[in-house]
Amino acid sequence: MKTIEVPALARVEGEGGLFIGMKDGKAVEIRLDIYEPPRFFEGFLIDRYLQEVPDITARICGICPVAYQMSSVRALEAALGIEVTPEIYTLRRLMYCGEFIESHALHIYLLQAPDLLEVPSALDLAAIAPEVVKTALRMKKAGNELLKAIGGRSVHPVNACVGGFYRWPDARLVKATLPELEWGLEAAKETVKWAVMLPYPDLKINYEFVAIHHPIEYGVMNGDVWSSKGSKLEVTDYETRYIEEHVQHSNALHSHTKEGGNYLVGPLARLNLNHEQLLPAAQKALKDSKIKLPITNPYKSLIARAFELVNFYEEAIQLVKAYAPNGPAHLKLALKAGEGCGMSEAPRGLLYHRYKIDEKGRVKFAKITPPTAQNLPRIEEDLLALVPQLVKMDQEQATLTAEHLVRSYDPCISCATHFLKLKMEEVE
Q: Residues 46 to 105: which contact another protein by CB under 8 A?
A: 46, 48-49, 52, 55-56, 59-63, 65, 102
Q: Which of 246, 287, 290, 332 binds another protein (CB under 8 A)?
A: 246
**Dihedral sign, CA of 177, 111, 286, 94?**
negative
Q: Is 148 helix (H, G, I), strand (E, B) or coil?
A: helix
CA dist 143 → 27, 136, 172, 344, 421 (Å): 42, 11, 17, 18, 33
Interacting positions 284-343 with another protein (CB under 8 A): none
Rg over CA atoms, the chain = 21
- According to CB under 8 A, which residues from 13 to 52 bind another protein? 13-15, 35-44, 46, 48-49, 52
Assess 255 for contact with another protein (CB under 8 A): no
Chain center to CA of 400: 22
Neighbours of 153 (CB within 10 A): 12
Phi and psi angles of residue 275, each rounded to the nearest 5 degrees, phi first: -60, -25
Number of residues that bind another protein (CB under 8 A): 72
Instruction: Indicate which single residue of 82, 117, 152, 228 sits in contact with another protein (rule: CB under 8 A).
Output: 152
Q: Give whichever of 204 and 360 is closer to another protein, judged by the CB atom.
A: 360
Span from 173-181, 245-253, 296-304, 377-385 in contact with another protein (CB under 8 A): 245-253
User: Between residues 298 and 361, which has the closer beta carbon with respect to another protein?
Assistant: 361
Applying the rule CB under 8 A, the residues between 160 and 179 that interact with another protein are 161, 166-167
Report the distance separating Cα 408 and Cα 195, nearest Å. 13
Check: CB of residue 210 under 8 Å from CB of residue 269.
yes
CB atoms within 10 A of CB 15: 19
> Taking the complex as a whole, how short is the minimal distance between the CB of residue 412 and another protein, in angstroms?
8
Quick note: the x/- pattern for another protein over 116-135, rule CB under 8 A, is ----xxxxx-x---x--xx-
121/297 with CB nearer another protein: 121
For residue 248, the minimal CB distance to another protein (Å) is 5
Q: Which of residues 183-222 bind another protein (CB under 8 A)?
A: none
Which distant-in-sequence residues (6+ apart) come within 8 Å of 284 by Cβ?
none
Asked if 141 is part of the footprint of another protein (rule: CB under 8 A), the reply reads: yes
- Which one, 159 or 231, has the nearer CB to another protein? 159
Q: Are strands 349-357 and 363-369 parallel, antiparallel or unpaired?
A: antiparallel
Contact 266, 375 (CB under 8 A): yes
With CB under 8 A as the contact rule, the residue among 1, 248, 276, 334 that binds another protein is: 248
- Cβ of residue 274: shortest distance to another protein, in angstroms? 27
From residue 265, give the alpha-carbon distance in Å to each of 89, 177, 347: 23, 30, 10
Question: Other C-beta atoms within 10 Å of 228: how many?
Answer: 17
- 377 forms part of the interface with another protein (CB under 8 A): no
Minimum CB distance to another protein smaller for 276 or for 359: 359
